[in-house]
């Protein structure tokens, strides 16, 4: 799976994939709809580290040329630039409307979605500078600003390796800082306990004299 040092991917269960029902006499449609991202629903990245996407994370996002792919690979199956793909923000998340009828591969993916073989969605993005907050108590990162959305994909792989790799890239700094702060606090507590122990011993020696 291709990815750059800054590009990240997130998978979301797409049981909400909707297939457009055909009307009698209509030409066959290959339209699918669903959410490539949802708001305010924490998900686990790894080992009790969580992430949540803020309701306003996409407010200033660049959606100028988004493509629809399968597993983030290959040529576009739909694209905003030719109006076969539309992405929009609502109160639930990043909504996707894609017409996959423009290529054989797109039509094959449509059939896989219809049959439940592909049942997740994902999107590729870059976080804006300063676009996340870390809560050390809950071990949760809140993505508050996404700079660019590159693609949305129907995905068949339950766990995306790129997700963990990039999550570690952008979270390691704050997590390590939190661990260092915790170590310093423990060291300070130990030092205070030792100081009190020595003071108690000194008082006991004075009393015994």
**What is the mean pLDDT of the segment spanning 135-142?**
89
Of 156, 157, 159, whose CA–CA distance to 167 is shortest?
Answer: 159
Query: Could you give the CA distance from residue 15 to residue 73 in angstroms, rounded to a whole number?
Result: 22
Answer whether 93's CB lies under 8 Å from 36's CB: yes
Burial (CB count <10 Å: 0-12, 13-18, 19+), residue 64: exposed
pTM listed for this prediction: 0.72
Give the C-alpha distances (Å, rounded to integers) separating 166 from 3, 57, 118: 9, 18, 23
| Amino acid 164: pLDDT | 46
Angle ∠(103,105,111) on CA atoms, nearest 5: 105
Q: Hey, is 5 helix, strand or coil?
A: coil
**For the chain, what's the residue count?**
209
> Token pair of 143, please?
């993505």
| Amino acid 204: pLDDT | 66
Q: Could you read off the pLDDT of 57-82 as tens digits, one per residue?
A: 999 999 999 999 998 888 999 999 99
Q: Hey, is 58 helix, strand or coil?
A: coil
- pLDDT confidence bin for 173, thresholds 50/70/90: low
Of 131, 105, 137, whose CA–CA distance to 118 is shortest?
Answer: 105
Answer whether 99's CB lies under 8 Å from 30's CB: yes
| Amino acid 98: pLDDT | 93
Tokens 């040329």, residue located:
65
């Amino acid at each position: 799976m291709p990815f750059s040092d800054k590009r990240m991917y997130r998978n979301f269960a797409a049981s909400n994939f909707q297939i457009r029902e055909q009307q009698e006499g209509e030409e066959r449609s290959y339209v699918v709809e669903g959410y490539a991202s949802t708001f305010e629903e924490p998900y686990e990245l790894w080992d009790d580290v969580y992430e949540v996407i803020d309701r306003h994370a996409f407010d200033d996002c660049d959606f100028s040329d988004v493509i629809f792919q399968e597993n983030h690979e290959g040529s576009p199956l739909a694209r905003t630039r030719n109006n076969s793909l539309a992405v929009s923000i609502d109160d639930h998340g990043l909504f996707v409307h894609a017409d996959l009828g423009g290529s054989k591969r797109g039509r094959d993916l449509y059939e896989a979605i219809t049959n439940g073989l592909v049942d997740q969605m994902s999107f590729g993005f870059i976080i804006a500078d300063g676009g996340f907050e870390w809560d050390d108590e809950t071990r949760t990162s809140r993505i508050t600003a996404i700079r660019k959305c590159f693609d949305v994909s129907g995905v068949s792989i339950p766990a995306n390796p790129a997700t963990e790799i990039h999550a570690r890239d952008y979270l390691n700094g704050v997590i390590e800082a939190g661990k260092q702060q915790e170590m310093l606090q423990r060291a300070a507590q130990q030092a205070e306990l030792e100081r009190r122990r020595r003071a108690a011993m000194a008082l006991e020696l004075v009393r015994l004299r």
